Amino acid sequence: MDQPVELIAAGTRVRAVSWAGVHTVIELPDLGVCFDMGICPESAIRHRRVFFTHGHVDHVGGIAHHCATRALRKLPPPEYVVPEDHLVGFEAVLSGFRLLDRSDLPATFVVARPGEAIDIGKGTRVVPFRAIHRVPTLGYAVTRTRRSLLPELVGKSNDEIVALRRAGLVIDVAHDVVEAAFCGDTTAGVIEREAAVRSARVLILEATFLDDLVSVRRARETGHVHLDELIERADLLQNEAIVLTHFSMRYSPAEVREILARRLPASLRDRVIPLLPAEPTGRTLR
């Protein structure tokens, strides 16, 4: 339960581990981003910059390990992007560990505010948005500028297009694509509220509760998504892939698979990928 799983969602690598109330860390190596640090797996140490969604321990518990291991290995100090409401708490946590560890634990903090894009280079921006949880929480949309051929040139041969470009004509147009969105902990209302959540090529969404074991009302009260609410909103979601995370530990991986196979409508089934350890391939007899 504490080893990251690697999967491919709409061509994008997702390396992550996420269980409700235990720990969540989400790495998107192709996009160069890492969200939350509920635990610090070896693969996450290389990320200098970490975007935090909120202050719950299952999302921040690994920060001291991340910071200390980078210092130990003489890697550049980490940069932690944190929601404005939690800056004081994050600073206090690291100050406490500096006292205990009798070391500097160098790190810098960047304040994240909804709608204020953070440029991370290579044409990639991370745009925070408000999620809906028991404590102030931000989600993040990873946006890239792509160029595509002008619509009137689609269907022309390569030679024709090369000739037009050589003649100095504009042949393509720039547009922003939301490559991925991660909502942190949230209720399903974030789907209606945030266009980036609906349009992201890869949506990484929590689905803490999956059936009658916990009611929709209770899911909302605790600030989480219930599968019923996701199913209701299937038509709003334009995503190529939806990675479901943060399942309650009430469900075993096998139960999560079984419930999703039974309950998801066809419009979601083909593009939903549950973040789960690989299925056991059988017992090894000695």
Binding site residues, Zn ion, CB under 5 A: 56, 58, 185
CB of 126 to Zn ion, least distance (A): 20
State the minimum distance, in angstroms, from the CB of residue 60 to Zn ion. Answer: 10
Smallest distance from Zn ion to CB 24, Å: 6
CB of 58 to Zn ion, least distance (A): 4
Q: Which is nearer to Zn ion, 71 or 190 (CB)?
A: 190
Residue (77 or 89) nearer to Zn ion, CB:
89
Taking the least distance from each CB to Zn ion, the nearer of 52 and 105 is 52
CB of 139 to Zn ion, least distance (A): 12
Q: Which is nearer to Zn ion, 27 or 185 (CB)?
A: 185
Nearer to Zn ion, 185 or 194 (CB): 185
State the minimum distance, in angstroms, from the CB of residue 20 to Zn ion: 5
C-alpha 251/C-alpha 249 separation (Å) is 5
Task: Tell me how far, at minimum, the Cβ of 25 lies from Zn ion, in Å.
Answer: 11
Neighbours of 10 (CB within 10 A): 18
The tokens describing 23, both together, are: 């720990």
* Shorter beta-carbon distance to Zn ion: residue 32 or 114: 114
Q: For Zn ion, which is the closer residue by CB, 10 or 181?
A: 181
